[in-house]
A and B are shown apart, each in its own frame.
Chain A
Amino acid sequence: MLKAHQKTGLVFFPAFDWAIDPTHPEREERLLYTQDQVTEEGIFDIDGIIEYKPDIVTHHDIRRVHFCVPDEQTITTQSHLISAGGAKAIADAVLNKQVKNGFALVRPPGHHSMRVSHGGRGFCHINIEAIMVEYIRSQFGIKRIAIVDTDCHHGDGTNDIFWHDPDVLFISLHQDGRTMYPGTGFPGELGGPNAKGSNLNIPLPPGTSTEGYLYVIRNCVLPVLEEFKPDLIVNSAGQDNHYTDPLTNMNFSAQGYAELTTLLKPDIAVLEGGYSIEGALPYVNLGIILALAGLDYSGVVEPDFNAEQLKQSVSTTDKIKKTTDLVNSYWLQKDELRQKAGTPGDLQVRHREIFYDTDNIFERQKEKVRVCRDCGGCIEIDSNATPGCHMLAVHIPINACKDCIEAGYKFFDQADKTKFDRVFLQDRPNDSYTIK
């Protein structure tokens, strides 16, 4: 009789009745074969693997992270709320110490959703990991969290949400943005002035195999985590690096994913992308579950796996090593970079244009952040979407210092209601959300 070496919680929510549209990669069938494989393996019968029912997140949960425009109701469906609720249920199980670690196998995904959300981007409407992380911080008082995003696409939404947050280390490994949606995530993107270096982006060349991927984990991700000493590690476990994925060009395998999980030891893994629903997902998910539970996964090999065919070229290996060295050097300089980033009390301005491919929306943003050595700094965002609304949003981070709280309220009080469709205030220390 199999017994897990460490108790592992699972939420399995395949949302068999929800799709973006019938032939979209994000459709009903996506986790069907995974469910078949996991059920046939008898995973839920293994002693120490516990299946939890997903929770459903409330608008209050979403408002810790997002400014949904015009509101939460309009841009989400029940399915989004349950998917995020799946991650929340796993967080509860892990933090209440019912299990050692957990995996939310849920859909739809969320890592392309940014702090301001006017609708769907990269199949995502709300950011399920970020909602979970902010829930954990409010509910369990945990301060330092690391999120390692191993989806093949740059986790630009999560990156945006924690861009200014020095207490959340965000690391994304993804296929090079010059060859892949969303086209961002270069090593120089290190975070805002108050959080330089707590965002690390590691682009990998197309054709990266298991060897290259695990090289980055061993030589960059693990040493950085060792130094950051997070209280909790979250893995955005996208599975589209797989050699059979139809949307990407990587050569990762089920064995590789399982080993990655063993190395990373995430407290919580949350499923993100992965669209090779027959050839990859059943095996990759099985590998991840067994690895989390500390069980032997050596038999989890795709039927058509051929190591020789998936070997990466020497030039690919070289590129990966160079990128790793570069990212490591940024990490070493992070304190210096923050010192140089600006004078405390000053406001730094950033202009951005964001395209929502799923819902065909174009957004222009002007963001102001207060430079601060004591906290992540309060933020004011002026956002105008076409089609859509024009709004102003103020975010005061959870660990905000007194000055930044004051400055945040000043932004909000001074906002001219007549110029915007909506004015929002997200006061994280108070766990409150105000609409003017």
Chain B
Amino acid sequence: MIIGIDVGGTHTDAVLLSSNGIEKKIKVSTDSADLFHTILSSFTQLLDNIDPKKIQRVVISTTLTTNAIVQKNMDPVGMIVSAGPGIDPKEFRTGKHYYCVSGSINHRGIEKASVNKMEIEDIAKELKQAGIEYVGVVSKFCVRNPNHEILIKRILNKYVKKVFMGHHVSGNLNFPRRIVTTHLNAAVFSLHKSFFEAVQQSLSEMGLTIPIQILKADGGTMSLASSMVFPGQTVLSGPAASIMGAIPYAPKKKDAIVLDIGGTTTDISFLVDKTPLLEPMGIQRGRYKSLIRSLRTDSKGIGGDSTVRVKDKELMIGPDRQGPAMAFGGPEPTPTDALVVLGLMPEGHQENARKGIHRIALELGLTDLEAADQIFKKCCTVILKKTFEMIDKLNSQPVYTVHEFLEGYKISPRIILLLGGPAPYFAKKIEALYQIKAVAVPEYSVANAIGAALARTTCEVSVNADTEQGIVTAHEENFAEPISKTYSDDDLIETAYTLLKEKAVNSGADPDNLDEVEVVEFQKFNIVRNFSPRGKILRTKMQLKPGLIKGFEKVLH
């Protein structure tokens, strides 16, 4: 049997699955001040009358790191960055202990200015004095040559507890995002570590000793050990859980929209031929831009519990949540109250819901039913408008080759899959308003927890070969090997596949189940100097695609 737990902002959903289907499902309120307690009580309820020895897999998705970022209660950490030519690295300051140091590496990975060891030594002493225990080190173009980062780490090791290096974060270029991401890893490390060590400890006291898997933003899982290297990957795993939960119901060879209507927000994402779309670079939310591999999701500040108010004769919904709906004892009218008043939702306190909606109706000069309908309609149109904007943006993504330009795939979804408490009501309304097929997925209220439980391990490797310099590297994996002038495309793919397999197994993947490998990118260039060929640059990115583990198909229908 397997367990999936998705700790969301408002609710925590948990399921216990066997190959026969759902054995147990629970939904509790999240205590954001004590997530540990929320998780433990979910486990206690799930394991009631169950032999813990029967549990083969546990996957957890939490808002722990997301909350730490939002509430700005991350550890103060040191950052050391070296840039060389380009934009002033002071622009990317992460906090108080931020140092720009000498040293420069160019786009080919060739050293142009060396590291000043004395300078680093002085900074290390300063950090130690200030009581800083965790430090991030990022140099520009470290993904082409990480030697400066390694050298700086060696000096720092004597002075601080742990050093995080930029080249371990991603094989992608993007210096400012690498600074943000490395900083995040360093800043949430101790929180993440102590939290999950406590969880693991308590679970083993319950007799649950199998390794825990943690859900990542890209809809895949990683082992607890891997998460210690890169804790930032757990950010925004919630939307990932939902979209993974929708995969079984998406059409083959077609595009689908996934909407997860939560308490405060609605998450929007897309499936193409049952596979979720990934962010090209990494998670971005507003000003926050990172290199964390992530599913392409965005959210709109409208959910079942969003506050409804009237401002200048205009109906406003969200983005805040003042509590549950009035029908469930909350203080302000919400879309959920509108559903109750419309007679769509049988649960909740009818009279309280009507009281709230009546207030809105008076201000708009409408009847209660008209007002409730308008609120409901507005929720749908705002969410759909955002969805269509996202599709337009997806379809106008730049391309860099003639081939891609001519082949340019455009997504055009013909179905919307809905999750979350009010999913069935929204499905009906959206279908009526937009003449697009909309369905609530089975088990819509815990589909996110099912998604977490069934998500398989994902990972990606980036490998570069430069036959002029005679080297193939995957610095993210601490890999570098000499190669001959005749190193070929096939050689590169083979190297990448070997590295990917190794990484996947280390992250907790089933070694016999690694068939969903995909070459995401392959580029090849001749290096020419003075009109004669000097070698080749070969680059590839290979990934284990996000998807579901096998053997639990029955759960889904």
Q: Is B134 an interface residue (CB 8 A)?
A: no
CB distance from A36 to the nearest CB of B (A): 4
Complex A-B: 22 CB contacts under 8 Å: A11-B398, A16-B523, A18-B402, A23-B533, A27-B526, A40-B86, A40-B140, A42-B175, A45-B174, A45-B284, A51-B398, A52-B396, A77-B402, A78-B402, A78-B405, A79-B402, A82-B405, A298-B88, A299-B86, A299-B87, A299-B88, A303-B84
Taking CB as reference atom, which chain A residue is nearest B141? A40
Q: Is A219 an interface residue (CB 8 A)?
A: no
Q: Is B108 an interface residue (CB 8 A)?
A: yes
Residues of A with C-beta under 8 A to B174? 39-40, 42, 45
| B400/A22 in contact, CB under 8 A | no
| A54/B405 in contact, CB under 8 A | yes
Q: Is B528 an interface residue (CB 8 A)?
A: yes
| Docked pose: A303 CA to B85 CA in angstroms | 7
Taking CB as reference atom, which chain B residue is nearest A29? B525
Q: Is B106 an interface residue (CB 8 A)?
A: yes
| A53/B526 in contact, CB under 8 A | no
CB distance from A17 to the nearest CB of B (A): 4
CB distance from B217 to the nearest CB of A (A): 18
The residue in B141, B401, B530, B532 that gathers the most chain A C-beta atoms within 10 A of its C-beta is B401
| Docked pose: A410 CA to B529 CA in angstroms | 54
Q: Is A191 an interface residue (CB 8 A)?
A: no
Q: A27-B528, A33-B107 are in contact. Are A300 and B289 (CB under 8 A)?
A: no
* Chain A contacts with B in 114-166, Cβ cutoff 8 A: none
Q: Is A382 an interface residue (CB 8 A)?
A: no
Residues of B with C-beta under 8 A to A77? 402
Q: Is B132 an interface residue (CB 8 A)?
A: no
A303 touches which one: B104, B289, B398, B527 (CB < 8 A)? B104
| A39/B173 in contact, CB under 8 A | yes
Q: Is A223 an interface residue (CB 8 A)?
A: no
Residues of A with C-beta under 8 A to B108? 33, 278
Q: Is B550 an interface residue (CB 8 A)?
A: no
Q: Is B537 an interface residue (CB 8 A)?
A: yes
The residue in A42, A47, A246 that gathers the most chain B C-beta atoms within 10 A of its C-beta is A42
Given contacts A12-B398, A45-B176, A77-B402, 9 further A-B contacts (CB under 8 A): A1-B91, A16-B523, A17-B401, A39-B172, A39-B173, A40-B107, A40-B174, A299-B86, A303-B85
| B401/A29 in contact, CB under 8 A | no
Q: Is A269 an interface residue (CB 8 A)?
A: no
Q: Is B54 an interface residue (CB 8 A)?
A: no
| A303/B86 in contact, CB under 8 A | no
Residues of A with C-beta under 8 A to B177? 42, 45
| Docked pose: A13 CA to B32 CA in angstroms | 47
B528 touches which one: A1, A23, A78, A301 (CB < 8 A)? A23
Q: Is A102 an interface residue (CB 8 A)?
A: no
Contact with B along A289-301 (1 / 0, CB 8 A): 0100001101111
Residues of A with C-beta under 8 A to B140? 40
A17 touches which one: B87, B396, B403 (CB < 8 A)? B403
Residues of B with C-beta under 8 A to A56? 405
A28 touches which one: B85, B112, B175, B526 (CB < 8 A)? B526
Q: Is B498 an interface residue (CB 8 A)?
A: no
A2 touches which one: B91, B141, B533 (CB < 8 A)? B91
CB distance from B60 to the nearest CB of A (A): 31
Residues of A with C-beta under 8 A to B400? 12-16, 35
| A53/B399 in contact, CB under 8 A | yes
Residues of A with C-beta under 8 A to B141? 36, 40
Q: Is B155 an interface residue (CB 8 A)?
A: no
Taking CB as reference atom, which chain A residue is nearest B87? A41
Q: Is A302 an interface residue (CB 8 A)?
A: yes
Q: Is B406 an interface residue (CB 8 A)?
A: yes
Q: Is B287 an interface residue (CB 8 A)?
A: yes
| A1/B537 in contact, CB under 8 A | no
Contact with A along B124-147 (1 / 0, CB 8 A): 000000000000000011000000
CB distance from A268 to the nearest CB of B (A): 18
Q: A17-B401, A40-B174, A42-B176 are in contact. Are A303 and B112 (CB under 8 A)?
A: yes
Residues of A with C-beta under 8 A to B104? 303
* Chain B contacts with A in 151-173, Cβ cutoff 8 A: 172-173
Q: A15-B401, A36-B173, A40-B175 are in contact. Are A300 and B85 (CB under 8 A)?
A: yes
Taking CB as reference atom, which chain A residue is nearest B113? A303
Q: Is B397 an interface residue (CB 8 A)?
A: yes
Q: Is B531 an interface residue (CB 8 A)?
A: yes
| A302/B85 in contact, CB under 8 A | yes
B-to-A contact residues, CB < 8 Å: 83-88, 91, 104, 106-108, 112-113, 140-141, 172-177, 284, 287, 289, 396-403, 405-406, 523, 525-528, 530-533, 537
Q: Is A32 an interface residue (CB 8 A)?
A: yes
Q: Is A283 an interface residue (CB 8 A)?
A: yes
Taking CB as reference atom, which chain B residue is nearest A1? B287
Taking CB as reference atom, which chain B residue is nearest A32? B525
| Docked pose: A157 CA to B134 CA in angstroms | 59
Q: Is A37 an interface residue (CB 8 A)?
A: yes
Taking CB as reference atom, which chain B residue is nearest A77? B402
CB distance from A164 to the nearest CB of B (A): 34
Q: Is A377 an interface residue (CB 8 A)?
A: no
CB distance from A347 to the nearest CB of B (A): 43
| B173/A78 in contact, CB under 8 A | no
| A52/B526 in contact, CB under 8 A | no
Residues of A with C-beta under 8 A to B112? 303-304
| Docked pose: A14 CA to B401 CA in angstroms | 7
CB distance from A103 to the nearest CB of B (A): 13
| Docked pose: A12 CA to B87 CA in angstroms | 19
| Docked pose: A303 CA to B532 CA in angstroms | 24
Q: Is A288 an interface residue (CB 8 A)?
A: no
| Docked pose: A289 CA to B174 CA in angstroms | 16
Contact with B along A74-96 (1 / 0, CB 8 A): 00011100100000000000000
Q: A23-B531, A28-B526, A32-B525 are in contact. Are A17 and B175 (CB under 8 A)?
A: no
The residue in B88, B104, B287 that gathers the most chain A C-beta atoms within 10 A of its C-beta is B88
The 4 closest A-B pairs by CB, nearest first: A42-B176, A303-B112, A29-B525, A36-B107
Q: A1-B287, A37-B107 are in contact. Are A29 and B537 (CB under 8 A)?
A: yes
A23 touches which one: B405, B526, B537 (CB < 8 A)? B526
| B405/A41 in contact, CB under 8 A | no
Residues of A with C-beta under 8 A to B106? 278, 303
Q: A15-B402, A37-B107, A278-B107 are in contact. Are A246 and B87 (CB under 8 A)?
A: no
Residues of B with C-beta under 8 A to A193? none
| A40/B405 in contact, CB under 8 A | no
| B402/A37 in contact, CB under 8 A | no
Residues of A with C-beta under 8 A to B399? 13, 53
Q: A1-B287, A29-B527, A301-B85 are in contact. Are A16 and B107 (CB under 8 A)?
A: no
Taking CB as reference atom, which chain A residue is nearest B104? A303
Taking CB as reference atom, which chain A residue is nearest B534? A23
| Docked pose: A37 CA to B140 CA in angstroms | 10
CB distance from A82 to the nearest CB of B (A): 6
CB distance from B167 to the nearest CB of A (A): 12
| Docked pose: A32 CA to B106 CA in angstroms | 13
Q: Is A185 an interface residue (CB 8 A)?
A: no
Taking CB as reference atom, which chain B residue is nearest A55? B405
| Docked pose: A42 CA to B113 CA in angstroms | 22
Contact with B along A32-69 (1 / 0, CB 8 A): 11011101111001010001111010000000000000
Q: Is A286 an interface residue (CB 8 A)?
A: yes
| Docked pose: A286 CA to B174 CA in angstroms | 14
Residues of B with C-beta under 8 A to A11? 398
| Docked pose: A82 CA to B140 CA in angstroms | 32
| Docked pose: A45 CA to B176 CA in angstroms | 9
Taking CB as reference atom, which chain B residue is nearest A35? B400
| Docked pose: A285 CA to B476 CA in angstroms | 28
CB distance from A73 to the nearest CB of B (A): 15
| Docked pose: A36 CA to B141 CA in angstroms | 9
| Docked pose: A54 CA to B401 CA in angstroms | 11
| A22/B405 in contact, CB under 8 A | no
| A2/B87 in contact, CB under 8 A | yes
Q: Is A282 an interface residue (CB 8 A)?
A: yes
